[in-house]
Amino acid sequence: MKKRENLKLLLMQVREDQETMREEWESFARHSCLKKEQIDVLNVFQTPHFCSNIIDEYDALLIGGASSANVLEQEKNSFYPSAFSLIDYCLNVNKPVFASCFGFQLATLHLGGEIKHKEEGFEMGTPLIELTNEAKDDPLFRDIKKSFYGVSVHKQYTDTLPPNCILLAQADYCLHSFKVKEKKFWTFQYHPELDTPTLKKRLKVYQESYVDNDGGYEKIIANLVETPESNQIVKNFIDRVLLEES
């Protein structure tokens, strides 16, 4: 059995802002109960072309959110072919994958699903997320409450499950989590790695992109709630997939 202190993970990061890059890396480390030095970062803006077998030396792949990239505008960035190849490689060798927000959308498209865009009235804050019946036997969700709050900020979404996948969580607005059948591959439209205090800081940075100037930021902040169950899922991935099953 592997030991926690010996784990090494790769975070495929789709960020350009230095502060958000650091915060996302630290958030994954904090909620997985790993040291930051145990998570290497592959930033696809800095390194858009890379070999899929880069993941061979790691125990798992993490895919985070995106500050500016849009999966519906792939012509604007050159990293997509390498990113899709990495997803395929992980599926082929059954390398554990934990993909949130942009990672969810990237996987949804590549697995044959559909991503839509909503410019107004999109999901932002800490919505209530509901688990499906299938989640009760899933290692990441089996002791999580049927309904819980999670951090979510996104304009792209899906309301249809890709083929060969198991729906684990959803909300009124969209689907929120699925797993690829018979693979160690989990996706989350919300941010299990992100907690409410960190969201407040991030919204302050990106409020021009996501929040109107007429008291919108203050209203969203006032309605935020804590997300301990959502954050627990990151640790469950480490404990139950990378350690218990190793």
- pLDDT score for 218: 78
- As a whole-number percent, the residues of the chain with pLDDT over 70 amount to 93
Q: Which structural domain range is residue 111 located in?
A: 4-243
Mean pLDDT of 88-100: 98
Residue 75 has pLDDT above 90, yes or no: yes
- What confidence tier does 155 reach under pLDDT thresholds 50, 70, 90? confident
Computed over every residue of the chain, the mean pLDDT equals 92
* Bridge partner list, 41: 11
Dist. CA 168–CA 22, nearest whole Å: 29
Confidence band (pLDDT; 50, 70, 90) for 67? Answer: confident
The closest alpha carbon to 183, from 111, 239, 100, belongs to 111
Residue 153 clears pLDDT 90, i.e. is over it: no
Number of domains in the chain: 1
User: Which CATH number fits the domain that encloses residue 65?
Assistant: 3.40.50.880
Per the rule left: phi > 0, alpha: psi between -120 and 50, beta: everything else, 164 is left
- Which tens digits make up the pLDDT trace of 187-209? 999 999 999 999 888 777 665 55
| pLDDT score recorded for residue 40 | 98
Give the β-pairing of 97-100 and 60-66. Answer: parallel
* pLDDT above 70 (res 210): no
What does the pLDDT average to over 239-246? Answer: 89
Question: How many residues does the structure list for the chain?
Answer: 246
pLDDT at 1: 80
pLDDT tens sequence across 160-184: 999 999 999 999 889 999 999 999 9
Interval 36-61: pLDDT, tens: 999 999 999 999 999 999 999 999 99
Q: Decide if 39 contacts 29 (C-beta within 8 A).
A: yes
Q: What is the pLDDT of residue 206?
A: 60
Lowest mean pLDDT segment, chosen from 30-39, 180-189, 221-230 = 221-230
Phi, psi of 215 (to 5 degrees): 75, 10
**Minimal CA–CA distance to 187: which of 47, 90, 46?**
90
Using the predicted structure, report yes or no on whether residue 122 has a pLDDT greater than 90.
no
Which residues partner with 179 through β-bridges?
166, 186
* Confidence at 216, pLDDT banded by 50, 70, 90: low
- DSSP string spanning 100-136? ETHHHHHHHHHTT---EE-SSS-EEE--EEEE-GGGG
Alpha-carbon separation of residue 47 from 12, 76, 80, 198 (angstroms): 10, 15, 11, 26
Question: What is the strand order of the sheet 185-188 is part of?
Answer: 39-43, 9-14, 60-66, 97-100, 185-188, 175-180, 165-170, 128-131, 147-149
Task: Give the DSSP letter of residue 57.
Answer: G
> Quick one: which of 175, 193, 168, 203 has its CA closest to 30?
193
